[in-house]
Chains A and B, each alone.
Chain A
Amino acid sequence: MSAAVAATARPALLAYRALTLRRRLILLAMFGLLLASFVVDLMLGPARYDAGQVLRTLMNPSEAPAALRVVIWDIRLPVALMAVVTGAALAIAGAQMQTILNNPLASPFTLGISAAASFGAALALVFGVALVPFAIDYIVPINAFIMAMGAAMLIHVLSQQRGVTTETVILLGIALVFTFNALLSLLQFFASEQALGAVVFWTMGSLTKANWHKLGITTAVLLFTLPFFLRRAWALTTLRLGDDKAASFGIDVRRLRLEIMLLVSLLAAVPVSFVGTIGFIGLVGPHIARMVIGEDQRFFLPASALAGAAILSASSVVSKSLIPGLIFPISIVTALIGVPFFFSLIMTSRKRSW
């Protein structure tokens, strides 16, 4: 009996092992891509230092010339790391939104979280309204964060109502996008020329706002949320089979949704409030991950993070290389570079991508 089981199970086991190995290799390859992009981001810049100079400055900052040290440690490194961390955070947020809402359109951008953040930032930039009276130096990010969390909570509360399906939640999110965009336009209508410029640039996103402080907070939020997602990886994978099946496996679906939604809000709101609206990553990062690695959360989660981080890191390189010396708003680059790539992936993928 046991021998028979072993005999039939062996090929399946081998196939599973092969699959796992293949996925690990894919993850490794994605990590390699990210690393390459990150290194290029550190090496390239209008100051044109050679690789040796950059490396020596990284190893021995105290011995490097002051200008070189400032460029590497205060300008390039925070921006390059911020691109990686923000890309990962936004892609994970998008991935888990798509998972818990069971909808390929879900992302911080399409659910109105980014739009809410923009509105919060604009409140500060146009009227100087501080939603929290203290920490006046961080008025813009704090406003953005509060509005983003508020929007996420609103979506969550509404989704808890009776008879509300995940499709309804998506529609609610889209309604929120339009609402906040209208409010944003209203603010812009009243804004002075100076404030208008600031709002427009804020909504285009920019990694040049990065500094070690903001990088630290964003990284902390990412590291804080990751264990929760990893612990719930199996449950989340099950959720993709449908709510009923997941419930029959003994998963408290409502509780899981609440927990993930809270974490995702935090993960989406923090980077957006620091670097401005970056729309494309949260939607497309997870889709790319899903196409190359599948739904299994143990791989899907890190793959999403790597895909998001790699796209944003590459965008960072492009945004400063198009015209050396100038920096293009990052979300323009992300969309223009990422969309053709995404298209080609959708059109060439013979499998159903959702």
Chain B
Amino acid sequence: MTARQSQVAGIDVGGTFTDLVIFDSTSRSVRLAKTPTTLDNQAGGVLNALVAAEVEIAALDLIVHGTTTTTNAVLERQLCRTGLITTAGFRDILELGRRTRPQAYGMKGEFRPIIPRDLRTEVPERMDAAGAVVTPLDEAALAAAIRALIAKDCEALVIHFLHSYANPAHELRAAEIARVTDRLAKVQGLKRPLVMMERAGGYSDDCCMSFGNENFGKMVDIAGGKNFASDLIPGTFGTVNPEAVVAANPEVVIITGGNWGAYVPGGAWVGLGPGSDLAEARRKLANLAKRPAFGQTKAVKEGRVHAIWHQFYNSPYQFVAIQEIATWLHPELFKDLDAEATLKTLHERFLPLPYQPGYWVTVERK
């Protein structure tokens, strides 16, 4: 074999046979192989085919793999218990179908949808055919839907939104949030740490503006925490009595921050955001943690004081904030979850800007 040789393998795993084609670009020749599909583990049939074609696996540049197994599973209705989450108003689209149906005319006929109706749920969201957002994705409804499906013993989850071919943003966001809520829902007797969310700490002298069961308050709930002010503040925002914070003794304190130098120059706020100075942010966060409301709390004593970019509140990237908050609240459970990687991927796939860190910071542990 010469060093310039280039080989590509194409594999199709069918219900009966596994087909293999090898294309050699130097000699411009094609070799074929056909072996029985090994149903218990399809990899066996693939390897057998490679052996049958007498190919040196290490010399392959590319393996292209396709299979009809999933289609067959769908056609034969041999799926595990699967739940479906779709756009509000489209739960019954599986039954409605198009005009192709078993009996095109007549009143009779039976159609069994692949996912039964009780395992199909809806969340408020909508894209139009051009990919523009008509209704933003309701993250809380999504979390509730996932919890409900897991409670019904679903083993797999399909997230299928209208017009996602034009703009997959909602589907991808839903999938990223599901990474958090899915795991939380499976924990028996989840212990939700008490979280004090401070809105724009240090922006004014007041302590403490916080969130009710909306906005960041809702994100804390989705991420598996108990938002302290949810029971107190009837609306979205409100001022919490600092004394109530001392009395409640929260386990985690999260302060939202942004670069507000244009409004409150030299203020005590934590200047987070893309490309922010994290050392400076950490220093200011430590100062905010010293205020009377927080100084004596468990959160401060255990170094569980965090700051997060304030603008996540009105950004479609809330799922990133939810992931990061989840790792703060349940560090063991989400050991493998990397919100920064999620945000980086988001930049690479969808944004014209390069990713810059600086969206969150944690005080140094003593």
Residues on A lying within 8 angstroms of B by beta carbon are 45-48, 66-67, 70-71, 74-76, 124-128, 130, 136-137, 139-140, 192-195, 197-198, 201-202, 206, 208-209, 211, 320, 323-329
Chain A residues contacting B296 (CB-CB under 8 Å) are 66-67, 70
Contact of A137 with B266 in the complex, beta carbons under 8 Å: yes
Of chain A, the residue at the smallest CB distance from B261 is A128
For B227-244 the 0/1 string (1 means CB < 8 A from A) is 001011110011111111
Of chain B, the residue at the smallest CB distance from A325 is B244
Contact of A194 with B207 in the complex, beta carbons under 8 Å: no
Chain A residues contacting B246 (CB-CB under 8 Å) are 47, 67, 70-71, 75
Contact of B247 with A130 in the complex, beta carbons under 8 Å: no
Instruction: Give CA–CA (A326, B120) in the complex, Å.
Output: 40
- Shortest distance between the CB of A133 and any CB in chain B (Å): 10
Number of chain B interface residues as a range? 35 or more
Partner of B247, one of A48, A194, A328: A48
Contact of A202 with B204 in the complex, beta carbons under 8 Å: yes
Contact of B264 with A125 in the complex, beta carbons under 8 Å: yes
Contact of A209 with B205 in the complex, beta carbons under 8 Å: yes
Contact of A208 with B265 in the complex, beta carbons under 8 Å: no
Chain B residues contacting A71 (CB-CB under 8 Å) are 243, 246-247, 292
Report if B295 contacts A (CB, 8 A).
yes
Instruction: Give CA–CA (A82, B201) in the complex, Å.
Output: 22
30 A-B contacts (beta carbon < 8 Å): A46-B241, A47-B244, A48-B247, A67-B249, A67-B296, A71-B243, A74-B292, A75-B243, A125-B263, A128-B261, A128-B263, A128-B264, A136-B265, A137-B266, A139-B264, A139-B265, A139-B266, A140-B205, A194-B258, A198-B203, A201-B204, A206-B239, A209-B204, A211-B205, A320-B241, A323-B232, A325-B232, A326-B233, A326-B239, A327-B239
Contact of B232 with A326 in the complex, beta carbons under 8 Å: yes
Contact of A325 with B264 in the complex, beta carbons under 8 Å: no
Report if B187 contacts A (CB, 8 A).
no
Contact of B204 with A75 in the complex, beta carbons under 8 Å: no
Instruction: Give CA–CA (A89, B268) in the complex, Å.
Output: 29
Shortest beta-carbon contacts, A-B, top 7: A74-B292, A47-B247, A136-B266, A46-B244, A325-B244, A209-B205, A325-B232
Chain A residues contacting B49 (CB-CB under 8 Å) are none
Instruction: Give CA–CA (A74, B110) in the complex, Å.
Output: 73
Total residue contacts A-B, CB cutoff 8 A: 114
Instruction: Give CA–CA (A75, B245) in the complex, Å.
Output: 11
- Shortest distance between the CB of A122 and any CB in chain B (Å): 11
Instruction: Give CA–CA (A192, B262) in the complex, Å.
Output: 11
Contact of B243 with A128 in the complex, beta carbons under 8 Å: no
Report if B128 contacts A (CB, 8 A).
no
Instruction: Give CA–CA (A208, B239) in the complex, Å.
Output: 9
- Shortest distance between the CB of B74 and any CB in chain A (Å): 47
Contact of B203 with A128 in the complex, beta carbons under 8 Å: no
Chain B residues contacting A46 (CB-CB under 8 Å) are 241, 243-244, 247
- Shortest distance between the CB of B355 and any CB in chain A (Å): 24
Instruction: Give CA–CA (A280, B247) in the complex, Å.
Output: 32
Partner of A201, one of B206, B233, B241, B248: B206
Of chain A, the residue at the smallest CB distance from B237 is A197
Contact of B206 with A209 in the complex, beta carbons under 8 Å: yes
Instruction: Give CA–CA (A74, B243) in the complex, Å.
Output: 9
Chain A residues contacting B231 (CB-CB under 8 Å) are 325
Of chain A, the residue at the smallest CB distance from B249 is A67
- Shortest distance between the CB of B200 and any CB in chain A (Å): 7
Contact of B247 with A326 in the complex, beta carbons under 8 Å: no
Contact of A324 with B263 in the complex, beta carbons under 8 Å: no
